Chains A and B, each alone.
Chain A
Amino acid sequence: AQTVTQSQPEMSVQEAETVTLSCTYDTSESDYYLFWYKQPPSRQMILVIRQEAYKQQNATENRFSVNFQKAAKSFSLKISDSQLGDAAMYFCAWGANGGATNKLIFGTGTLLAVQP
């Protein structure tokens, strides 16, 4: 069975600084996707970034980038130039590409605080 582990329950960063959130996963699948979702206090789940496992190039979305290490099964999220609006719970998620099921497996989340 697939598992996703986020070992940092809480993180804090100063405004304008950079922070990295960690995520590891375990799977025997060869083709899959990885996601980072943001959940602010409103509870809305917002897609931050997505990575296809077959791509070697790390995904980037403006101030958000990932460090995808397939062999190590690691998928960290880097937030550059942190802003107050980045404060939220961040969830790492794994999803199969094809196959019998495409449920997302979520980690337990990392609560990010941004200090002014």
Chain B
Amino acid sequence: DAGVIQSPRHEVTEMGQEVTLRCKPISGHNSLFWYRQTMMRGLELLIYFNNNVPIDDSGMPEDRFSAKMPNASFSTLKIQPSEPRDSAVYFCASSLYQSETQYFGPGTRLLVL
């Protein structure tokens, strides 16, 4: 079975540009999570969805960040405009049920110059 798929794997962009990260959860999983990993803050949850509905977005740093899940097999995390402090590894994870084990994708390494 394919695991969680994320694209792109690496993204280099300039400050002010729009960045879109994509995630395809494991088929059949109904919970999807977006995490960010930085040296300073470690791993932190940005937002998560249950059955395509955003449940907790308290971790989204500011209005420049937005996330959508238009269907059960696709989600996006968008940063507009991007800033150098957004440079991090962004992980998508999915789980079968709300409290089940979360399986992570390979991550997207974002560098904003």
Contact (Cβ within 8 A) A45 B55 = no
A98 at interface, CB cutoff 8 A: yes
Q: How far is B35's CA from A104's CA once the two chains are assembled, in angstroms?
A: 10
User: What is the bound-complex CA distance between A44 and B45, given in angstroms?
Assistant: 16
Q: A35-B101, A95-B99, A96-B99 are in contact. Are A102 and B109 (CB under 8 A)?
A: no
A103 touches B48 (CB 8 A): yes
Contact A47 B103 (CB under 8 A): yes
What residues of chain A lie closer than 8 Å to B42, measured between beta carbons? 106-109
Chain A window 23-41, contacts with chain B (Cβ cutoff 8 Å), 1 for yes, 0 for no: 0000000000101010000
Interface size on B, residues (CB 8 A): 23
- What's the count of A-B pairs with C-beta under 8 Å? 51
- Asked if B91 and A45 make an inter-chain contact with CB atoms under 8 angstroms apart, the answer reads yes
- Give complex CA distance A102, B101 in Å: 10
How many Å lie between the Cα of A107 and that of B41 in the bound state?
Answer: 11
Query: B residues 56-112 with Cβ under 8 Å of A?
Result: 56, 59, 89, 91, 93, 95, 98-99, 101-104, 106-107, 109
Number of A residues with CB within 8 Å of any CB on chain B: 24
Q: Are B107 and A102 in contact (CB under 8 A)?
A: no
B56 touches A103 (CB 8 A): yes
> Which chain B positions have C-beta within 8 A of A46?
104
The CA-CA distance from A85 to B93 in the complex, in Å, is 23
Is B12 among interface residues, defined by CB-CB distance under 8 A?
no
Task: Determine whether the beta carbon of B98 is less than 8 Å from that of A98.
Answer: yes
A44 touches B106 (CB 8 A): yes
Q: How far is the CA of A33 from the CA of B98 in the complex (A)?
A: 12
**In the complex, residue of chain B having the shortest beta-carbon distance to the beta carbon of A42:** B106
CB of B48 within 8 A of CB of A43, answer no
Residues in chain B within 8 A of chain A (CB atoms)? 31, 33, 42-45, 48, 55-56, 59, 89, 91, 93, 95, 98-99, 101-104, 106-107, 109
A-B contact pairs, 8 of them (CB 8 A): A33-B99, A98-B98, A102-B48, A102-B98, A104-B45, A106-B44, A107-B42, A109-B42
List A residues at the B interface (Cβ < 8 Å): 33, 35, 37, 42-47, 50, 91, 95-98, 100-104, 106-109
